[in-house]
A and B are shown apart, each in its own frame.
Chain A
């Protein structure tokens, strides 16, 4: 006989029949009737009409019947609050029962009856149960506090239950501790500010002890709670880590992931030189790999988290690529996640394997997966430069399969590869063009059109190809229309004679026949440009594009750090902070990773404080030759250096800036703007002063202005001693050392070239890669006589700042290529930012005040300048020499405050407040700037100037 009999009904009407049975005298019949009621309830039938009859069965010695009635009560009490009161007496009585099971059951059930009136009666029994001698009752009561809080938070606070709950964290029984932690965590979630889980080393110790002894679920609660703790130093962090690591071997994957969270978070505080740090890294890999052999749902959650972990600490899983290989019968959601992680782990060492796999996936059945696999090949090409060629040939193989969606995806990614490695793989264009007709998705069509437009000069029938697209112009999606417009304009600029008709046709289609505002506007802009100034049009439309960055889908670092704190939670599955999606999270407190402290002097670890002086960082930014190769290969290194046109009209410059401005937030201006502007305000794109013509004629006037200000001025900025930039070993005997200087408005690079080889060197030329401030040589490298072995030549290369701009990291990184008759050599160096401080960087007081207020506070950065025993006036004059101007000086409570301003060549103003404590050699420097990324480099400049 099975329970399915409870579902059978008779014709009379179920409820009527049940009612009769519930009121029967026979115990057995009653129980059967209650079971029928419960059975109906489980399938969602409404049996609330039986409420009084069921509650009448509550007074019984039969535990099963009692439990069944309780089950019913919990479900329906809310709909019948008045009737539910009838049950209260029984609950109160049961809370006194000698059997702990009954006491616990009563307090547990009472908490589930979500009726306000009942909660009042619940307080006394609950208080008693929280102090019950039996731990089973206590642990049940702990959870009951959380239930009650959910119904009536005020009541819980008034009755002091929260304090009792906090006391339970020190309970002798680990299960009670775990439940108390769980209850407090749940309450804390709705009360972010209440500081309920106020953790201190003592309570942490108790939690860690309980961790070893409680159930797996309790371990999860405790670990999640531990993760919120902020250890006071790295020793404490390490000792917690040591006690948490054994949890990595737990069979329950949720325990494992919570332990991973604690370790990932506290690891942040450990110094990387520590042996233990390395041990911990090694210990993290196996449990993560093991999670991937679990059921697919667990794998999915694990993979989403691993995705975060490999972004934060790629070293953990770098050797485990193979476990992410896709099995053909993995569920699709697992496949896609694995693919994503494979690309993140791809490196030169394993790229061959990865590509072979990806190619295999591209022949699978599932279309979504195949598409993503093809995209992945493109991403590999962009990420691992050495593999680019192989990726392109793999993509070509795939195009040969002629599978429609594979071809389309391949074309989309090849477009990206062209953007990353210009002028390298254009030989494949012919193959791409063969597939023109099969493209039916907008993205693929747009990509193909972009390719045709971009390389129009190499495609013989580019005009025919584009014309064929033009026929159905109005049926295309906007994306394709916009691309087609641009491509045809590009074509026209490249082959003006043959395509005049075509361009007119597309312009009229875009401007007259289309009602899409974007399309129309772009059409008009092109039209105006072409008709007023074709040269400018060329500059705009055919401008060199910035290379696309390696990985566009990386999670932004601050968000990543926050998400690391949420490993194992829903936030980690969605890769969004909980504040972005969890309902009812009233003002969730943002979590952040602990800062790395290190109990030893913080100065020892280079990334502890931003005190790393430029020279010590220098080796780190010198890229390998391979890295630079791609960027600099297309630089023209012919002896007559074709620098940017010196006297470009300001109008044209403005136009370029306007359109190219998107690539950088840094607005460009020009070197040494007219001194009349000095101190009057922000930059105006007026006359361009070609820097290589020496100091601007009116430069002296600027100096006079400053003299009138009453502060003495030095003849030029601080110049650092020359350092070796390119050692002879790396450059076949050519040694280059150098420094940067700024003399009255002119920047120059002072070089010392030494020939340490045995042969004569000649035909020198120099070229810069694009950089943050557009630094470029203003004249060719003038070395007239060949450089004999062991001979040294000193040369000063004038620089200007009208070169092309690309944001570098670090900001002041400059990549240089030097050519001689032997070879081309690459090196990179950091230039001190003060060579970019212009002479008219003094701001008016009023302006200073207004600007200071105007810049938001989050843009303020504070730095310490140590060991600088100078007086305020000495500081002021020293800084003025490098174009940092003191706007005002005040004395507040014995401290000298200097308010200073400076302006960069690209028009960025930086405002500074320098606090000097007489007698103390440390200054506090606060910088405010609309482009806060420069602050750190300005600070470095301060430090360099003041200490020399």
Chain B
């Protein structure tokens, strides 16, 4: 199972190590550094690195490498999922996950890591349970602890640890009982030069924030559950009920959690809410190139597209760009060759446009590769797949909760080839 964990920052310092079995010398990380050097970019470091006696599995999050060391045959996904859970837990505990924060809370981090694994076997990874075992630091608690000498380690066995609903603690009380659900859909798409869709799919999630007293039993039904044929559930969802009635029935965890994620595959028709018109031309043996892009709404179901951001990695031969946007701000970094244009809202009457010239390295032939345009946008109050929640009911408790559903569509990996 998982032997050790090293946290390494982007400049190559190991700033935390934790061993769950015998101590593994940190020199094992040299193999990681070698791989890192070869990869040139942090994102390209291979996730599995073999060494003569160990395997290093790593994830790169928040500019930190989380490197797990294993010695025997362990499912790599198990390790990677666990590392993700570590990142999530840190974020949950400290608000952000960064080198500074981890160093500032090194003892809590260490205690938490110790609770998460025992001999490399996962012990408590639900943040509900962890928070009962090790209380997250708050300013108030630190002050109180210093005065009273009490600790931030719980001395009771967490109630959820062994129940059939391990994700929920007992004795939850709220004065305001509320349950909010966010249906968030991301469109991943590749659009070709001529504007036709090569592939498009939707990754959707339903994130919930449930603050309800006692042991509520919720059911959530959809107007069109047919859309959900490829789903992954939080363990709280009763799978049989979904199979037979297409209704989500569950006892929710307390607080924030991801109830469900789903995938609407490339085989269904996915509506594309924006289009990009582009005219980027390099000419041989000319030091000037032309550049123009226009962004416009396509299938938006009458909603406004906002938060639009266009980024593009320009070819190496582009020395500089002089562009004028009809709205928003744009920057071009001549070192990284990254063009970004913060467009903001799309007004269908006056389409945003960015136009100008590129100065190219003189005397070289035109670049081999065409820049790809990366698009970000948001549409409020719309789930582009058409998914709609029908109703939410609560059983098992007598009070009336506040309920709310929000929809949002975002661009995921949305790329336009030129």
Contacts and interface: CB of A to CB of B under 8 A. Distances in A.
A135 B166 CA distance: 13
Interface string A48-73: 00000000000000111101100100
Contact of B190 (A71, A108, A258, A325): A325
B140 interface: no
Nearest to A137: B157
A289 B230 contact: yes
A585 B126 CA distance: 33
Contact of B77 (A301, A403, A571): A301
B80 A114 contact: no
Nearest to A298: B80
Contacts of A331: 43-44
B78 interface: yes
Chain A CB count within 10 A is highest, among B1, B154, B315, B413, for B1
Contacts of B77: 253-254, 257, 298, 301-302, 568
Contact of A2 (B104, B164, B263): B104
B155 A63 contact: yes
B81 interface: yes
A25 B264 CA distance: 64
Contacts of B14: 43-44
Contact of A136 (B16, B114, B162): B162
B370 A363 contact: yes
B157 A100 contact: yes
Chain A CB count within 10 A is highest, among B16, B81, B266, B369, for B81
Contacts of A300: 46-48
A824 B294 CA distance: 59
Contact of A217 (B106, B110, B121, B156): B121
B342 to A, nearest CB: 19
A604 interface: no
Contacts of B239: 246, 249
A44 B75 contact: no
A71 B114 contact: yes
Given A136-B162, A363-B370, 4 more contacts: A250-B233, A250-B235, A301-B76, A569-B75
Interface stretch (B21-29, B285-293, B375-383, B395-403): B21-29
B73 A570 contact: yes
A136 B129 CA distance: 13
A363 B149 CA distance: 65
A485 interface: no
A809 interface: no
Q: Secondary structure at chain A's binding surface: helix, strand, loop or mixed?
A: helix
Interface in B306-360: 313, 315
A39 B118 contact: no
B131 interface: no
A251 B261 contact: yes
A582 interface: yes
B81 A286 contact: no
Interface stretch (A143-151, A424-432, A924-932): A143-151
A287 interface: yes
Contacts of A101: 155-157
Interface of A: 1-4, 6-7, 27-28, 31, 35, 38-39, 42-44, 62-65, 67-68, 71, 74-75, 78, 99-101, 108, 111-112, 114, 134-136, 140, 143-144, 146-147, 150, 173, 175, 179, 182-183, 186, 189, 213, 215-217, 220, 224, 246, 249-254, 256-258, 286-287, 289-290, 293, 295-298, 300-302, 319-320, 322-323, 325, 327-329, 331-333, 353, 356-357, 360, 363-365, 401, 403, 568-571, 573-574, 578, 581-585
Nearest to B199: A322
Contacts of A3: 103-108
A286 B233 contact: no
15 contacts: A2-B105, A4-B106, A42-B109, A74-B19, A75-B23, A179-B121, A220-B75, A249-B233, A251-B235, A254-B78, A319-B267, A325-B199, A327-B413, A568-B76, A582-B73
Nearest to B143: A1
A944 B323 CA distance: 83
Interface of B: 1, 14-23, 26, 39, 43-44, 46-48, 50, 52-53, 55, 57-59, 71-78, 80-82, 84, 103-111, 114, 118-119, 121-122, 125-126, 142, 146, 149, 151-157, 161-162, 164, 166, 188, 190, 192, 198-199, 201, 203, 229-235, 239-240, 243, 258, 261, 263, 265-267, 313, 315, 368-370, 372, 374, 413, 415, 417
Given A246-B239, A568-B75, A182 B106 contact: no
B258 A251 contact: yes
Given A298-B77, A320-B265, A143 B121 contact: yes
Contacts of A252: 81
B231 A249 contact: yes
Nearest to A142: B121
A1 B232 contact: no
Given A217-B121, A297-B47, A329-B374, A35 B17 contact: no
Nearest to A70: B114
A1 B142 CA distance: 8
A133 B233 CA distance: 33
Contacts of B142: 1
B108 A325 contact: no
A583 B52 CA distance: 8
A580 to B, nearest CB: 12
Given A101-B156, A147-B119, A333-B44, A573 B76 contact: yes
A286 B263 contact: yes
A331 B78 CA distance: 21
A215 B80 contact: no
Contact of B230 (A39, A67, A287, A353): A287
A485 to B, nearest CB: 35
B162 A363 contact: no
Contacts of A298: 77, 80-81
A365 to B, nearest CB: 5
A74 B192 CA distance: 58
Contacts of B109: 42
Contacts of B111: 64, 67-68, 71
A108 B84 CA distance: 25
A578 B151 CA distance: 46
A246 to B, nearest CB: 4
Contacts of B44: 331-333
Contact of A75 (B19, B231, B374): B19
Contacts of B372: 328
Given A2-B105, A251-B233, A323 B266 contact: yes
A824 B114 CA distance: 76
A652 B198 CA distance: 58
A216 B235 CA distance: 8
A301 B153 CA distance: 37
A43 B356 CA distance: 52
B75 A254 contact: yes
Contact of A290 (B82, B104, B105, B263): B263
B159 to A, nearest CB: 11
Given A135-B162, A246-B239, A333-B44, A220 B78 contact: yes
A322 B198 contact: yes
Chain A CB count within 10 A is highest, among B21, B73, B109, B122, for B73
A28 B147 CA distance: 10
Contacts of B19: 74-75
A38 B263 CA distance: 45
A27 B82 CA distance: 36
B153 to A, nearest CB: 4
B368 A403 contact: yes
A583 B58 CA distance: 20
A738 B230 CA distance: 54
Given A3-B105, A295-B84, A213 B164 contact: yes
A287 B26 CA distance: 37
Given A289-B263, A332-B44, A568-B77, A250 B107 contact: no
B234 A297 contact: no
A258 B155 CA distance: 36
Contacts of A112: 20-21, 119
